[in-house]
Amino acid sequence: MKIIKLNLKKRSYNIVAGSHIIGLLGGYIKKLNIGRDAYIITNAAIKSRYARVLERTLRGSGFESRLKLIPDTEKSKSINIAASIIADLASYDKKRKVFIIALGGGVVGDVAGFVASIYKRGIPYIQIPTTLLAQVDSAIGGKTAVDLAQGKNLVGAFYQPRLVFSDLSFLETLDLKQIQSGLAEAIKYGIIKDAQLFSYLERNLGDCLALKTAPLEFIVKRCSYLKAKIVERDEREEKGIRTILNFGHTIGHAIEAAGDFKRYNHGQAIALGMLVACEMSKRLSFIQDNILARIEKLVKAAGLPAKINKISLAKILKAHYRDKKFLGKKNRFVLIRDIGKTKIVENIPLALIKEAIASRSS
């Protein structure tokens, strides 16, 4: 088990990662002194697997709890679902001191964190990520959000959890697509910040896909550490530091939206977005062919797509222009200079963006 501290002064918290550690959770929460009533937001599939063990550890440490189920779909990231959670939470909350537990993947974590941020102007919450993607990335760093018809994550808050608790044993029941999605983000961390992690992934990807605990645990701990160090330096993405986490996400989100969130899941879209960003980096002579080839090989080895299939360039660009990362009239991309090294570039000509997307379209 490893404890990584994310230092943000009064908003500091621990990321606890290890295998079969859920039984220790109650004790960790108790030390936080955030109340005694847990409002657990999750979905039906996760409830059937983990709710009992979670409730047991909570009860064992003197907590009461209530479960709130939301549909297991990206559509749960809506203002309506958030409002319905809040109405239920308010009815549970009478004369209690409630904190929220987000038990699930990225969707549960985003909407639960958003609810925690706005209910009573902010109540404490804990992230218990159950997917590889959430453990390596989305559960950490306090970005919470819901989607609008006009675009993903357009409504939200920067609101830090009080604890991130990643039990590797939860990954055992993931299907291949979910593991691949998480690997896409892990590959991202290698590309933007950690050439050694990238090499590790090149050597151990097979074992990850086979759900072996040791390499997955290594990846979760390493990515958690990398994300913590980035978030510490730029919590609200104001200094161009946290920005690098958006590598592959600018075009990735557009691909995801253009495919109506059906053709590609988040990890697949991000894999494609990263390759588009690499194509842009190559065309601007920041990297040579061999770097792009190495990244493409790893993406493919993870079973992630390397070509955009059956989504028009026009549709991707339209979705792209809705992206909230547009500042004023400038565009802004995270590109790379090498594996482990990024470069933020603004005002990239539309022709070059189009060319990069086209080169990755089949």
Catalytic residue list = 121, 143, 185, 227, 237, 242, 246, 249, 253, 266
Which residues have C-beta within 8 Å of that of residue 239, sequence separation ≥ 6?
A: 233
Does the protein bind a copy of itself through residue 157 (CB under 8 A)? yes
Does the protein bind a copy of itself through residue 329 (CB under 8 A)? yes
Residues in contact with a copy of itself, total (CB under 8 A)? Answer: 39
Output 34 or 103, the one with its CB closest to a copy of itself. Answer: 34
With contact defined as beta carbons under 8 Å apart, do 126 and 29 qualify? yes
Which residues have C-beta within 8 Å of that of residue 56, sequence separation ≥ 6?
A: 23
Does the protein bind a copy of itself through residue 51 (CB under 8 A)? no
- Considering only 25-33, 57-65, 156-164, 212-220, which stretch makes contact with a copy of itself by CB under 8 A? 156-164
The phi-psi region of residue 33 (left if phi > 0; otherwise alpha if psi is between -120 and 50; otherwise beta) is: left
* 310 backbone dihedrals φ, ψ, rounded to 5°: 60, 30
Does the protein bind a copy of itself through residue 156 (CB under 8 A)? yes
Does the protein bind a copy of itself through residue 328 (CB under 8 A)? yes
> Segment 60-89, which members bind a copy of itself (CB under 8 A)?
79-80, 82-83, 86-87
Task: Lay out the site mask for a copy of itself across 102-121 (x = CB under 8 A, - = otherwise).
Answer: ------------x--xxxxx
Which residues have C-beta within 8 Å of that of residue 331, sequence separation ≥ 6?
A: 346, 347, 348, 353
Does the protein bind a copy of itself through residue 317 (CB under 8 A)? no
- Own/partner pairs, 84-92, CB within 8 angstroms, 24+ separation: 85/41, 85/111, 85/112, 85/115, 86/115, 86/118, 86/119, 89/39, 89/115, 89/119, 90/119, 92/37, 92/39, 92/66
Q: How far is the CB of 120 from a copy of itself (least distance, A)?
A: 5
Name which position in 53, 67, 69, 154 contacts a copy of itself (CB under 8 A): 154
Q: List residues near a copy of itself by CB under 8 A.
A: 35, 79-80, 82-83, 86-87, 90-91, 94-97, 114, 117-122, 143, 145, 148-151, 154-158, 236, 321-322, 324, 326-329
